Amino acid sequence: MYLCSMKLSVIVPVYGVEETLRRCAESILGQSFRDLQLILVDDCSPDRCPQICDELAAKDMRVVVRHHRQNGGLSAARNTGLARAKGEYVTFVDSDDYWAPDMLKPLIELLTVHHDYDILEYSVYEHFGWPGHMNILRLDDRAYTDLHEYWYGARAYEHTYAWNKIYKRELFDGLTFPEGRKFEDAYVLPQLLERTSCVATTSLGYYYYCYNPKGITQQADGKDLNDLLQAHLKVLRKPADSPLARPTAHYYGRVLNVALDVYNATGEVAALPSFKTVCRHPDAGKANLKIKALNILGIKNLCRINKLLHLFSKKGR
């Protein structure tokens, strides 16, 4: 049977996207590289998505559909897809996004030549369709065997997206996305890196990350931001033998910013590990200042002062 063995499994969680689902699926099925399995996980979508999924499966034997009886969220849908994945490699696509035409073939060719690549991250057109915010994330052509350099030096923590990466499927053996949490990508990528020997980035390909005002990022509340914070706190607390130990000031400063945002939204004060090192990088000035303020004032006082400044800035607009 065709689906017993293939190169790539593509997992697409589906919920409330009847207007974009066909565009997404057709951008995948229309690639010149055809040795793939498309897994559509209908997460009990209330619109016409279940019927569209079945119609797509009826037209193309590479499409597999799973229907959830209850809505379980993005992580649950991805986990369902991973359980059905048959490919040597696996990747994810969000159903309101899509792939550039014929972008997959050169990525697969790169993986075929470099079988040592456990993860291949490719470039992204970010916030496509949002005037004034669109940005091309064009990555370097580089392989990293030093995962500390990838996470901190290349600042992979700024784009922990699950969907602009192709993974060896075996990396997910015994590993699932955390259900019931938002920003689940930030939880999973650090765990994957600890199972990885080599990550590569490439300027090839384009993933169209489309602006969605109803999406998780745009609708994030205090609880969601706390999920993001907890994911990064797990990295800050990595033991000394982890490749992600020894965080940089820039990274610590970003985590501190999330902690301040959580306080502004919920009043909860995070317990951050201490950090004393000053970063010499020319663009780390703001991070260094906030870290110095944290060390002098303590997290609770810094949160209170930051909230006051935030309120004053709002009034001044």
Residue 104 — pLDDT band, cuts 50, 70, 90? very high
Q: Which class for 231: exposed (0-12), middle (13-18), buried (19 or more C-beta within 10 A)?
A: buried
Is the predicted pLDDT of residue 149 greater than 90, yes or no? yes
Interval 234-276: pLDDT, tens = 999 999 999 999 999 899 999 999 999 999 999 999 999 988 7
Q: Phi then psi for 44, rounded to 5 degrees?
A: 55, 50
Cα-only R_g, the chain = 21
What is the predicted pLDDT for the residue at 297? 92
pLDDT of residue 69: 84
Q: Where is average pLDDT lowest: 19-28, 98-107, 217-226?
A: 217-226
d(CA 65, CA 28): 15
In degrees, rounded to 5, the angle at the alpha carbon of residue 123 between the alpha carbons of residues 119 and 125 is 140
> With left for phi above 0 and alpha for psi between -120 and 50, is residue 54 left, alpha or beta?
alpha
* Helices assigned H by DSSP within 67-167: 74-84, 104-113, 147-148
Q: How far is CA 258 from CA 75, 152, 270, in A?
A: 22, 17, 10
Average pLDDT score over residue span 283-305? 85
Q: How far is CA 107 from the centre of its chain?
A: 19
Q: What is the pTM of this model?
A: 0.92
pLDDT digits (tens, 9 = 90+) for 194-235: 999 999 999 998 999 998 776 666 667 899 999 999 999 999
